[in-house]
């Protein structure tokens, strides 16, 4: 019995990419494409979620992610409440369950949850009342499923045949919920070869069993890749002795134009943001012709609209792929 997938194959919650069948992932990509034109035109709203209430429940500060969820809900005509819980109740000692119970008393339809701990979204979904959906907007190092979906969607727009692709993920995989969800999504979508590239200190043990080939040398790992995804390196990793310094990291694992040139000529470069220019990625690459980093942001809006509509049972108007 799955917590997030109903017996008839719909998402009750979106907690992780793990266990979501390929057809459902493709269905969300198709729905996102249908919603893309609405997402890109701010003056147009769809009435799909009119009368529904969505609560952005952020236990970890993140203006960017919260804004895209807020915008996505607004474009679907839902009412949106933003709660920055990091700064309120939990710091007063209220338990997560108490916070949840209080919010449920307000009768909302969906919680969009971001939390610093792995498994928090599962925990909330397990304890939420019947009929309240949980959308995981990032839990600890565990999962960031909408990010992986929007990345898969972005890849699909540029390179529709997943089974022909080699995708390389570069950087701090160990601490990255984005990378975990991407590996699951690309694996389910049948990507030909998945690679993770980084120093052994930033690659989780047994990651090979999740279908990834591990490279510690960037030049080797990036060779002939169709898609290269750089991950953010957080500053505090220096303190934990995962890497010696930002400059040394950049020297070995920074995505520079010379290195991108080792990949396929039509390779696209992605980054989940926010970027550390000059640490994991060079500006010339981030702003270069192969970069689709800004497109990821627009696609993220469409994908979040698609996920919210799907979970709350709204029928997305069909549109052909452009």
- Closer residue to another protein, CB minimum distance, 97 or 294: 97
- Please tell me whether residue 172 binds another protein under the rule CB under 8 A: no
- Closer residue to another protein, CB minimum distance, 121 or 302: 121
- Closer residue to another protein, CB minimum distance, 85 or 120: 120
* Binding to another protein in span 105-134, by CB under 8 A: 115, 117-120, 122-123, 127
Query: What mask of x and - would describe binding to another protein in positions 188 to 217, judged by CB under 8 A?
Result: ----------------xxxx-xx-------
> Taking the C-alpha atoms of 288, 289, 293 and 298 in order, what is their torsion angle to the nearest 10 degrees?
140
- Please tell me the distance from the alpha carbon of residue 105 to that of residue 107, in angstroms, as a whole number: 5
Q: How far is the CB of 182 from another protein (least distance, A)?
A: 13
Q: How far is the CB of 180 from another protein (least distance, A)?
A: 6
- Please tell me whether residue 13 binds another protein under the rule CB under 8 A: no
- Closer residue to another protein, CB minimum distance, 105 or 206: 206
Buried b (16+ CB within 10 A) or exposed e, 145-172: bbbbbbbbbbbbbbbeebeebbbbbbbb
What token pair was written down for 206?
């047994």
- Closer residue to another protein, CB minimum distance, 158 or 213: 213
Q: How far is the CB of 60 from another protein (least distance, A)?
A: 12
Question: Taking a C-beta distance cutoff of 8 angstroms, is the pair 112, 69 a contact?
Answer: yes
Question: Taking a C-beta distance cutoff of 8 angstroms, is the pair 142, 164 a contact?
Answer: no
Q: How far is the CB of 20 from another protein (least distance, A)?
A: 13
> Taking the C-alpha atoms of 173, 178, 184 and 187 in order, what is their torsion angle to the nearest 10 degrees?
-80
At residue 269, φ and ψ (nearest 5 deg) are -115, 130
Residue entry with tokens 């279908």? 211
Q: What does the binding site for another protein look like in residue numbers (CB under 8 A)?
A: 3, 16, 18, 95-97, 115, 117-120, 122-123, 127, 139-143, 177, 180, 204-207, 209-210
């Amino acid at each position: 019995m799955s917590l997030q997938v109903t017996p008839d194959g719909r998402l009750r919650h979106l907690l992780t990419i793990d266990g979501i069948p390929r057809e459902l992932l493709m269905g969300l990509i198709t729905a996102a494409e249908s919603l893309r034109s609405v997402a890109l035109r701010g003056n147009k709203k769809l009435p799909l979620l009119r009368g529904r209430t969505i609560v952005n429940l952020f236990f970890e500060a993140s203006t960017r992610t919260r804004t895209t969820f807020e915008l996505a809900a607004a474009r679907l005509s839902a009412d949106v409440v933003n709660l920055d819980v990091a700064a309120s109740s939990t710091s007063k000692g209220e338990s997560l369950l108490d916070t949840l119970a209080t919010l449920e008393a307000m009768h909302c339809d969906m919680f969009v949850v971001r939390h610093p701990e792995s498994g928090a979204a599962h925990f909330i979904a397990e304890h939420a009342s019947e009929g309240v959906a949980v959308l995981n907007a990032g839990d600890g190092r565990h999962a960031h499923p909408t990010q992986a979906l929007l990345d898969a969607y972005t890849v699909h727009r540029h390179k529709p045949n997943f089974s022909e692709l080699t995708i390389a993920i570069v950087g701090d995989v160990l601490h990255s919920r984005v990378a975990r969800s991407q590996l699951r999504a690309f694996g389910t979508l049948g990507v030909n070869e998945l690679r993770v590239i980084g120093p052994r200190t930033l690659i989780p043990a047994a990651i090979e069993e999740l279908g990834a080939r591990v490279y510690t040398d960037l030049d080797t790992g990036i060779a002939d890749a169709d898609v290269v995804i750089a991950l953010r390196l957080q500053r505090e990793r220096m303190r934990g002795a995962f890497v010696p310094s930002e400059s040394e990291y950049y020297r070995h694992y920074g995505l520079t134009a010379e290195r991108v040139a080792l990949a396929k000529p039509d390779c696209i470069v992605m980054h989940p943001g926010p970027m550390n220019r000059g640490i994991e990625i060079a500006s010339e690459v981030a702003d270069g012709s192969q970069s689709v980093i800004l497109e990821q942001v627009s696609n993220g809006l469409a994908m979040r609209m698609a996920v919210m509509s799907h979970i709350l049972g709204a029928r997305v108007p069909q549109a052909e792929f452009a």
